[in-house]
Structure 1
Amino acid sequence: MRFMATYDLMDTVRNTNQWLGATAQALGSYPAVAMVPNPAFQWLAAWGEVTERAFSRMDTKPDWGIGSVVGEDGRDHLVDVDVELAKPFGDLIHFNVQGRKEMPRKVLLVAPMSGHYATLLRSTVVSLLPDCELYVTDWHNARDIPVSEGKFDVEDYTLYLVDFMKHLGPNTHVIAVCQPAPLALAATAYLAEEDPQAQPRSLTLIGGPIDPDATPTEVTDFGNRVTMGQLEHSMIQRVGFKYKGVGRKVYPGLLQLSSFIAMNVDNHTKAFTDQISRVAKGEASDHDKHNKFYDEYLAVMDMTAEFYLSTVERIFKGLEIAQNKFTVAGKQVDIGKITDVAVKTVEGENDDISAPGQCVAALDLCTGLPDSLKASHLEPGAGHYGIFAGKGWRNNIRPLVLEFIDANSGPRVVAGKDTQAKAG
């Protein structure tokens, strides 16, 4: 009950701040206030508007907001987001572009389960959609999943990726962003042994912690400093009575958000102070740069406790992927069994979350893969976010990834022989 009460308390604090913001905005905007020539009321309304918006976003899953895409014919084609394969902890969704013939590039974009919704990759999706038949892993908020659905840890996550790859077929190109990179590598290795014909054609790993010890960061240092008991005691709570997942142990999104903000508290404080000033002066807009970023950044989701704890224990502390000792359902997954799936790694020079060296370590683990099917790229000056959504992604990385996909879309090469992959 203590953990459940703490969860409800955090939700109450969020709800209270949202109410305070809405109240302040209403009071500061009251028509009679206009008769009083005091700028304090303008600042009160501005503070309320920014505060209410910020705290309300923490409880809402953002919409993809992708209405249409321009096709090769120069026309706008409407985009539907269809559920291709539904599962309790996450769906495989398809961005179905109406009136457009199926694109030759079939891409599975694996979104991270690290506190934010898959919509964090919205700009990545927008950039790939004109050139690809795009599928995305849409993970669910753990607070909304009944306890009766069971557990969900790193092994279950890996098996979800296996099922998604099997469903899409062997002509799929997988792009894994950040957290899922080591598990996408493990899923591909799992298929290499269990169902080789279902393996994807290529695997692009972007800023993922394949070997967290290769280049230590604040994230990896934190994982090494604390014990698993300390993590479970301080980070894990039970979902409160308000949600369908009541009683489920989770790492709450609100708690994760406080950690995210604490890493750059000065920058966030300045950003919100500046935004309040802009609103008070009438210089802000509903979809300005600040709101576009924070509407997504503040929208957080709960992770299952077992997924969070097993990620820290097995990926960061135990280095099971880095040492090729990862097991799924009691069976060791041998990354060296990958022999005909092209693998590319992408890193950012200034990435302070998955620093350069952590992701490229995947290529050394692929001992059965010829060098001709390995590639890597280090983006100069790019931080973590910039390697999948910023200027570096748009101008440099995206074209390289599409070239890599095209270069590995022909007949599959196995042990020196060409074999045409069966259509999925």
Structure 2
Amino acid sequence: MKYMATYDLMETARNTNEWLGATARAMASYPAFALSMNPLLQVTAAWGEVTERTFGRMVAKPDWGIRSIVGPDGQDHLVDVVPVVQRPFGDLVQFSVRRRAPMARKIMVVAPMSGHYATLLRSTVASLLPDADVYVTDWHNARDIPVSAGKFDVEDYTLYLVDFMRALGPEVNVIAVCQPVPLTLAATAYLAGEDPSAQPRSLTLIGGPVDPDAADTEVTDFGRRVTMGQLEQWAIQRVGFKYKGAGRLVYPGLLQLQSFISMNAERHSKAFSDQIMRVARGEASDHDAHNRFYDEYLAVMDMTAEFYLSTVERIFKNREIARNEFVVAGKKVDFGAITQVAVKIVEGANDDISAPGQCLAALDLLTNLPDSKKAAHLEPGAGHYGIFAGKSWRLNIRPLVLNFIDANSGAPKKSATPIKLATSQASA
């Protein structure tokens, strides 16, 4: 399947469906039909509106939508997204709060590169902003990166994190969510061996596959069943002529989205049919619950083929992180070199992506880190999304993480005070 024609065929199908939706919406909305009592016209227009939006969102990068926060003085503080380090495959960006002095807490959030944009962590970032200076890894869509920029695999990803940590200095506290957890741990160990003074103060690792074999999930089962040859044949394509990355081998976002939806096809089908009827009855809005969720969920990005394949082979199949045999730029990374960085593990009891035990395995690798600098929390009843962006995060995990950061950074040891957010995503 490593052909441009296959990639372009998927894009053609997406574009055609977007056009069909726009056409149906426009035709069914003609003023001449306004006097008709046929409800089919309203349903057709509603189907067109939902279809056009659905397929259009698949190739659009969502906006962060964090416009301002309300400070303790009751005044609005505008928020700017400012690049701090810019690289071909991803940037480190700061959510700069105007008219606010630097905060005692400096947090770098490592976003996943697993099909969705970093904006998937919008509510996570928004919840941290009132209490910290927040930086986020903003990964780029591989389809937009020219082939001349070179490769990007798990080692390159790790070295990007190393450079980002160096740029922020040793006072930074790192929070890694899901996919980047093992590589963030590797980047910290790399610094411990090569540049100890640049290590972060603390690591909070949330629901990531440090040892995929610690607990079985559908993800780990799939990784065991499929061979690397099969995976390369089924999943990898070349970017078509429409984008700057034409010719680059990628795991296409549209193909990933197909896999996401197929896991809960009945649930998604009902959600869209219900939304069509809400639109037909005039009960929907541009930012209702359905659109807020699916505008983000449907926005997918291509991953470089080498990153996806090396993740499966080295992290899941060979378990190089779990066996302390990971190599970066020809140098073996020794997790035993981490002796000063406080590490907290957060898992969800109902996480079916990175099941309990997979992330906790990180503490066993830290053989020379004192127990006083190790912590773990298992959130009852929480699924994968809930531990970093849902109710469990907002009510329980966020305060625990901030208190852990304070306890290991010399910052004031007090619970974070909830501050009302004034953002377009405040209800997320």
- What's the TM-score once normalised by structure 2's chain length? 0.95
Give me the whole-angstrom Cα distance separating, in 1, the residues matched to 2:379 and 2:49: 38
Q: What SS does structure 2 have at the residue aligned with 1:375?
A: strand
Residue 246 (structure 2) aligns with: 246
Q: What SS does structure 1 have at the residue aligned with 2:203?
A: strand
Matches of residues 192-231 of structure 1 in structure 2 within 5 Å?
Answer: 192-231=192-231
Residue 85 (structure 1) aligns with: 85
Percent of pairs identical after alignment?
77
Letter of the 1:305 counterpart: A
Deviates more, 1:69-78 or 1:303-312: 69-78
- Contact map agreement 2:211 2:359 (CA 8 A) in 1: yes
Letter of the 1:401 counterpart: V
- Residue 344 in 1 paired to residue 344 in 2? yes
Q: What SS does structure 1 have at the residue aligned with 2:214?
A: coil
Q: What SS does structure 2 have at the residue aligned with 1:86?
A: strand
Q: What SS does structure 2 have at the residue aligned with 1:35?
A: coil
Shift of 1:28: 1.5
In structure 2, the gaps of 5 or more residues are: 412-428
Structure with more relative contact order (C-alpha pairs < 8 Å, separation 6 or more): 2
- Cα 1:2–1:353, aligned 2, differ >3 Å: closer, same or farther? closer
Shift of 1:2: 6.0
- Residue 287 in 1 paired to residue 256 in 2? no
Q: Any idea what the Cα deviations from partners look like across 1:171-191, whole Å, max 9, x if unmatched?
A: 000000000000000000000
- Residue 125 in 1 paired to residue 125 in 2? yes
Residue 233 (structure 1) aligns with: 233
Q: What SS does structure 1 have at the residue aligned with 2:314?
A: helix
Give me the whole-angstrom Cα distance separating, in 2, the residues matched to 1:220 and 1:49: 38
Give me the whole-angstrom Cα distance separating, in 2, the residues matched to 1:41 and 1:19: 18
- Contact map agreement 2:2 2:233 (CA 8 A) in 1: no
Q: 4+ residue stretches of structure 1 with deviation over 4 A?
A: none
Give me the whole-angstrom Cα distance separating, in 2, the residues matched to 1:218 and 1:203: 27
Matches of residues 143-158 of structure 1 in structure 2 within 5 Å?
Answer: 143-158=143-158
In structure 1, the gaps of 5 or more residues are: 412-424
Letter of the 2:243 counterpart: Y
Residue 53 (structure 1) aligns with: 53
Q: What SS does structure 2 have at the residue aligned with 1:213?
A: helix
Give me the whole-angstrom Cα distance separating, in 2, the residues matched to 1:6 and 1:269: 26
Matches of residues 16-415 of structure 1 in structure 2 within 5 Å?
Answer: 16-410=16-410
Shift of 1:130: 0.6
Shift of 1:80: 0.6
Q: What SS does structure 1 have at the residue aligned with 2:179?
A: coil
Q: Any idea what the Cα deviations from partners look like across 1:166-208, whole Å, max 9, x if unmatched?
A: 0000000000000000000000000000000000000000010
Give me the whole-angstrom Cα distance separating, in 1, the residues matched to 2:58 and 2:198: 38
Letter of the 2:160 counterpart: Y
Letter of the 2:269 counterpart: T
Give me the whole-angstrom Cα distance separating, in 1, the residues matched to 2:38 and 2:410: 70
Shift of 1:410: 2.4
- What's the TM-score once normalised by structure 1's chain length? 0.96
Give me the whole-angstrom Cα distance separating, in 2, the residues matched to 1:410 and 1:102: 15
Count of residues paired in the alignment: 411
Q: Any idea what the Cα deviations from partners look like across 1:203-226, whole Å, max 9, x if unmatched?
A: 000010011110010011011100
- Cα 1:364–1:245, aligned 2, differ >3 Å: closer, same or farther? same
- Contact map agreement 2:215 2:358 (CA 8 A) in 1: yes
Shift of 1:36: 1.6
Shift of 1:351: 0.6
